[in-house]
A and B are shown apart, each in its own frame.
Chain A
């Protein structure tokens, strides 16, 4: 377990999230992809903190905790938007949401 392997794993996770956010046309899949990318960033923070010269402040852990809190807020608002859009347009396919004035 070296830092570079961890970084590669986290890069792979980020790219799978990017794939989900770019390729899927369903709004919930796009949110899932964004959450995956945030989790990959958190993994990077923790990995860099773990491999930093000791003794180190647990700054990476604190940043990861705050990022988790903000990601939870983002997920709540995003899913609420999905429900609101679904009520209005009767679809969650983002390709069919092409009007600003509904």
Chain B
């Protein structure tokens, strides 16, 4: 059961990622991007990290994908033109992939079966965020505020 789901999710995710990377039309690529994040969230659910999967769906499909679609709609003068494609990137990507697969295949101590775990409850995550990870949490809050203010300043109309 789990392996069938794993194969299906893998095919969905990789196909959507390839479509997002290679489709000519920006809007189709953005939608494939959203589908790819559904696939990655399904991986997280399959691995027992339900909370991270939900956060991924909220943040990426709810916010980032919508933001990308808005940006595409706001900057659409060269939509119709054929985008140039740099083939040297394919070579670099295949070389990096071969290197990574070589490293993974030559690592001897990777565990084969996942150990049984009890599910991590959201209460535990909240407690950890408030105790061990309180400083990273505050830093991320400051970072998000700064990023939002910076984004607003960047897109503000210039006074003439």
Q: Which residues of A contact B (CB under 8 A)?
A: 1-9, 11-26, 28-29, 31-33, 35-36, 39, 42-43, 46-47, 49-58, 60-62, 64-66, 68-77, 79-84, 86, 90-93, 95
Please state if A68 and B56 are interface contacts (CB–CB under 8 Å).
Answer: yes
Q: From the candidates B29, B92, B97, B107, name the one contacting A12 in the complex (CB within 8 A).
A: B97
Please state if B89 and A28 are interface contacts (CB–CB under 8 Å).
Answer: no
Rounded to whole angstroms, the CA-CA distance of A15 and B100 in the bound complex is: 9
Please state if A16 and B21 are interface contacts (CB–CB under 8 Å).
Answer: yes
> Separation in Å of the B22 CB from the closest CB of chain A?
8
Q: From the candidates A43, A75, A86, A92, name the one contacting B67 in the complex (CB within 8 A).
A: A75
Rounded to whole angstroms, the CA-CA distance of A95 and B78 in the bound complex is: 13
Given the known interface contacts A1-B3, A76-B151, the answer about A35 and B90 at a Cβ–Cβ threshold of 8 Å is no
Chain B residues near A62 (CB, 8 Å)?
A: 125, 128-129, 133, 136
Please state if B71 and A90 are interface contacts (CB–CB under 8 Å).
Answer: no
Please state if B92 and A29 are interface contacts (CB–CB under 8 Å).
Answer: no
Q: How many residues of B contact A (CB 8 A)?
A: 84
Please state if B74 and A73 are interface contacts (CB–CB under 8 Å).
Answer: no
Q: Is residue B143 within 8 Å, beta carbon to beta carbon, of the partner chain?
A: yes
> Separation in Å of the A80 CB from the closest CB of chain B?
4
Instruction: Tell me the residues in window 15-36 of chain B with beta carbons closer than 8 Å to chain A beta carbons.
Output: 17-18, 20-22, 26, 29-30, 33, 36
Given the known interface contacts A2-B112, A79-B67, the answer about A15 and B75 at a Cβ–Cβ threshold of 8 Å is no
Please state if B117 and A80 are interface contacts (CB–CB under 8 Å).
Answer: no
